[in-house]
Structure 1
């Protein structure tokens, strides 16, 4: 297989089918041309609904003073992450569905990859932090305002964002340094790191091991914190004598549990489980779940299961 170095001086007049030009070619979702328009409409509607839903969450929380609590502070951070997360992928995918030119430059591809991994890592840590917040609120209610004071919440939020950034920086730098072969066709609809590593002419075991250990450490660490927090929550709630009290305590955690289940389930499937060619199409479907559907459903899940938030929505609409 012929290996070519990246040449930024190549002529822009190269033939459209020549993949030796600067950048990669995204093969998209692999759907038939007849389905491209339908996929475009579905992605476009999902993107607009995601922006609207998450912006509404941010506005409503900022408008209602009763929602100025740590739980909703972290929910605002989650909504901001979801807006950026979906904006990193969907607009370019929409352009690609309409344009026959499926190419993306090296700079554009690695920028998209860096932002996507960074936001995904930050969300992973944030979900674990939100579980810890629920643990303190239910198991240590008298000390809640002392433990989860504003300075502590801001510090935890900074840790979430910076951890995702540093994790992504390591993976992006190591991937950029790889040589890529003549056939630079990414079998995906965006620049996801497992798909890019398959194009390298060099052994990528180091990259794959780092993905497994660094990504696995973040995922397992956050998931462990979540499971331990909810184990303590369940033990504490079962001691509440009132059925109404137990139901109220569990209802504050239900939305977060649903979001956690969807997020960690898809991340483990894509990044932790061994990869194989037979799972390529399934990986794309799973990618649609966490890059398109999860950011869309998160505000819906929280609004449907949270009575405080529903009251705040009614209040804002009546203004």
Structure 2
């Protein structure tokens, strides 16, 4: 049972320069909007276009959902702290953020491996692709991703709840992550460090070795760097910048790296936008006998 006397944590944020708070707020608000718009566009396009109901896009659909959850777990509270003089988070809120982020971290790493396997089958076994990547196989792989992510998150969150936090209560970070919380613990953290190291070996390094032929990944190297070291070696200023790469930048870049450069997805997104534009036009201007320009150019083609 947790015997902590700390009920609220104070976060220092990404940078400790007060004069940069407004600039950081605008920057991370834009990053959040880009992450939401990019990943939502992918979800809608894949869901609405039957041509994209294939294994590769099924996993990209899941990756987009994970990225939205990851960004929404961290950035809104970060923006609130940037706009507020009291940069606090409750103990329960911190644990919830830790659980959600750890789930996203595990799910994303396993998803990358599953996506690499899908591409391996497509390239090396094209004639057997429909059999090897059947609907049941895709659902099975998706279940494996979820189970591994949930188990990994429950273990680490449960171990954090066993620790005692009796002060100080200042988290030198911009969100609740395992390493800075271990630094604040008043009780031994060696079990936590062993489990973090084990998870990092199997998830981060293991998945990296399986996908290194498919991806040149900034994501894996930063995660390995953060979690494979003991809490006593944690460097707040340097490691907060590293954490920003895989928590804030990755969910924003993933749509562009893995999906939005795909020609089929671009066509699907354009179709969805055209459909929405036409519906809005006819709803607002149906009493006018004027066709929208997009329709005129389409008809003339």
Report the TM range for the smaller structure's normalisation.
Answer: 0.7 to 0.9
Aligned counterparts of 1:314 and 1:174: Cα–Cα separation in 2: 47
Q: Structure 2 regions of 5+ residues with no counterpart?
A: 276-301
Equivalent residue pairs, number: 274
Return the offset for 1:275: 5.7
- The CA deviation string for residues 255-310 of structure 1, in whole angstroms up to 9 with x for no partner, is xx25xx02112211211255665732121111111111110111122345322222
1:31-110 correspondence to structure 2 within 5 Å: 31-110=16-95
Structure 1 window deviating more from structure 2 (185-194 vs 263-272): it is: 263-272
3-state SS of paired residue (1:198): helix
Please state whether the residue corresponding to 1:25 is helix, strand or coil: strand
**2:256 match:** 300
1:119 corresponds to which of 104, 129, 136: 104
Aligned to 2:129: 144
C-alpha distance in 1, partners of 2:151/2:127?
36
Q: C-alpha distance in 1, partners of 2:231/2:218?
A: 20
CA positional deviation for 1:30: 3.0
Q: Residue in 2 aligned with 1:187?
A: 172
Deviates more, 1:131-140 or 1:309-318: 309-318
Aligned position for 1:272: 228
What's 1:281 paired with? 237
Distance 1:103 1:305 in 2: 39
For the pair 1:262 / 2:247, whether they are aligned, the reply is no
**CA RMSD between the two structures:** 1.8
Q: Deviations over 1:88-140 (max 9, x none)?
A: 00011111111111221111111110111011101111100000000001100
Residue of structure 1 equivalent to 2:296 = none
Say which SS state the counterpart of residue 6 (structure 1) adopts. coil
Partner SS for 2:10 = strand
**Is the 8 Å Cα contact of residues 60 and 316 (structure 1) preserved in structure 2?**
yes
Tell me: CA distance 1:117–1:30, structure 2 relative to 1, closer, same or farther (3 Å): same
Distance 1:305 1:138, change over 3 A: same
Q: Give the Cα–Cα distance (whole angstroms) in 2 for the partners of residues 135 and 309 of structure 1.
A: 21
* Aligned pair partner of 1:177 in 162, 172, 186: 162
**Which residue of structure 1 lines up, in the alignment, with residue 191 of structure 2?**
206
Decide whether the 8 Å contact of 2:39 with 2:255 is kept in 1: yes
Assess if the C-alpha contact under 8 Å between 1:119 and 1:165 holds in 2: no
* Corresponding residue number in structure 2 for 1:317: 273
What TM-score does the superposition give when structure 2 sets the normalisation length? Answer: 0.86
Partners of 1:147 and 1:282 in 2: CA distance: 44
* TM superposition shift of 1:36: 0.4
> In the aligned structure 2, how far is the partner of 1:145 from the partner of 1:82?
28
Structure 1: unaligned runs, 5 residues or longer = 8-20, 231-252
Contact 2:183 2:232 in 1 (8 A): no
